[in-house]
Amino acid sequence: MRFLKKSYVFLIFAFLYAPILVLIVFSFNESKSRANWEGFTLNWYMELFQDRQIMSALYYTLLIAVLSSIIATLIGIIASIGIFSMKKVPQSLVLNVNYLPILNPDIVTGISLMVLFIFTKIPLGFVTMLLAHITFNIPYVILSIMPKLKQMNKHLYEAALDLGATPMEAFWKVILPEIMPGIITGFLLAFTLSLDDFVISFFTTGSGVNNLSIVIYGMARRGISPKINALSTLMFISVLLLLIIVNMRMSKDNPERRTKIEKDKENNSYLPDVGHDI
């Protein structure tokens, strides 16, 4: 039985990561063909940084991903706290409305945003693509932060107010550290979704502004260049290193936070419920 469980897990991970491994290997293939191995080379990586079209697309992709993730995360934090403070029925209604953009097909969202931008006479380009990415990222950030708010002990915030902290100080020193894992998860999810998006970007961009997914889609008609394999390899390694650093940082912070909480409890810093709301 244990062998079957391990085999099942192995097959799942093999199915997920085998294509990525093949892509990485063939990014070093001297041949343009993905069927034959003709020798090791780094030429595709050198040609990648000399390709103006790909570099321009990479610039817009990273710029929009970073900006949309930061803005969506900030809006998501405020929205999550506001939703968490609602009564049960309004909270349930707002959360259900928040699910709609996630369940809605991307093509419907993309066309709707395009029609909205045309109706409001906003020229399609960088700004419209950025607004579109912020729009579809916000629900994911909210869904990442809400579980952490529900797991949080509400007495922490109330105790901070009773000890003389202002609501803003209580937010920065009590609430924010408690929901930080959810914020980081929401930010990384928003960043990844923005990097990966094609359909919504395709309908909301204008001339001269293309992200990587649009450029790769255009190349697919003529055949994917090995330079894309090299770019995908670099992006995969960068995201993997980012996740490792974040996980190491969170693993280091959790024991320190638990030790601090235990010391605060010994010093009677946590007071009973006195009826404050976030």
Task: Please tell me the distance from the alpha carbon of residue 242 to that of residue 248, in angstroms, as a whole number.
Answer: 10
The CATH fold assigned to 42-266 is MetI-like fold (1.10.3720)
Instruction: Estimate to the nearest angstrom the gap between the alpha carbon of 273 and the chain centroid.
Output: 35
- CA distance linking residue 144 with residue 125, whole number of Å: 29
The pTM is what? 0.80
- CA angle in degrees (0–180, nearest 5) for 51-52-55: 85
Dist CA 247 CA 241 (whole Å): 10
Q: What is the pLDDT of residues 123-154, one digit of tens each?
A: 999 999 999 999 999 999 999 999 998 888 87
The set of residues, in sequence order, having a beta carbon less than 8 Å from that of 109 and lying 6+ positions away, is 101, 135, 136, 199, 200
Instruction: For the chain, report the end-to-end CA distance as a whole number of angstroms.
Output: 49
Give the start-to-end residue ranges of the domains of the chain. 42-266
How does pLDDT run along the chain (278 residues), one tens digit per residue? 788 888 888 899 888 888 888 888 888 888 777 667 888 888 889 988 888 888 899 899 999 999 999 999 999 999 999 998 888 899 999 999 988 888 888 999 999 999 999 999 999 999 999 999 999 999 999 999 999 988 888 778 778 888 888 888 888 888 888 899 899 989 988 998 998 889 999 999 988 888 888 888 887 777 777 888 888 888 888 888 877 877 776 676 566 555 555 555 555 544 444 444 44
Give CA–CA dist 179/278, Å, rounded.
13
Q: What is the pLDDT of residues 234-274, one digit of tens each?
A: 888 888 887 787 777 667 656 655 555 555 555 554 444 44
